[in-house]
Structure 1
């Protein structure tokens, strides 16, 4: 169940606006928690399938190690330069590892859609290239917040 956004309803994106925004954006920032409780933030490419955010991460990264120990994460996708142009989406929940790690291309029906979306979005190809270094994380968010300051108009 996704938590309902209470504040900022005036600037909140609709579900359709959010889905379109997440499909169009290319980079997100992923926050994880270290063993001593310190946050770690890194940028990643991602795809959104309408219900889950799929992250393609290097398996020998600090992020991967931290999520193996503690699956909690938060992700922000945002853009805009001027105040009135700011917009974004924040998602949080627990990461789930999907498929083999690192990914070698073994059949995994759960990855058919995210890999097709990812390959078209980032490589303009139909077949996912496997490098033996990356694997998939799925975030089905517990909470989503969004904002689009363009909705404020001249206010």
Structure 2
């Protein structure tokens, strides 16, 4: 059996890994044809990831031109601990204010630390939603790895 096959995560492991991950590196293609990579907080929704960004951001401009991205969530300090999921995605830009506010609320719940903070952030979300767009990343190809499966051998 190849090492590549040995370290691949199962679909259930991918779902669990994305649920525990905190930051996704998102690559879009800039106007000069080069990758534009930014870190984003995200919320897993089944097989998709959702987030938001300012409507005037470079990533939003890039996605309006080409609604595709590569998303990477990774973890590990040393080689034998490396884990990650890389997804080529089609991206939907959500411009409906209520839907954008829902995404913002989900993000605040996930990253706010507790329900009290998330509730207090409601006003922030309402003020931010008109300036932002939601982003729904739907994977078309997923590659994963978990070097811990090798048990320290290579």
Shorter-chain TM-score bucket reads: 0.7 to 0.9
1:146 aligns with 2:144: yes
**TM-score, normalization: structure 2?**
0.81
Q: CA–CA distance in 1 between the matches of 2:89 and 2:139?
A: 5
Number of corresponding residues: 143
Q: CA–CA distance in 2 between the matches of 1:95 and 1:29?
A: 14
**Aligned equivalent of 1:20:** 16
CA contact (8 A) 1:99 1:111 kept: no
Alpha-carbon offset, residue 55 of structure 1? 2.2
Q: CA–CA distance in 1 between the matches of 2:59 and 2:76?
A: 26
Q: 1:79 aligns with which of 75, 79, 82?
A: 75
**TM-score, normalization: structure 1?**
0.81
* SS at 1:9 equivalent: helix
1:120 aligns with 2:109: yes
Once superposed, what is the RMSD of the aligned Cα atoms? 2.3
Flag the structure with larger Rg. 2
Q: Which has the higher helix share?
A: 2
Moved more, 67-76 or 91-100: 91-100
Gaps of 5+ in 2: none
CA contact (8 A) 2:69 2:90 kept: yes
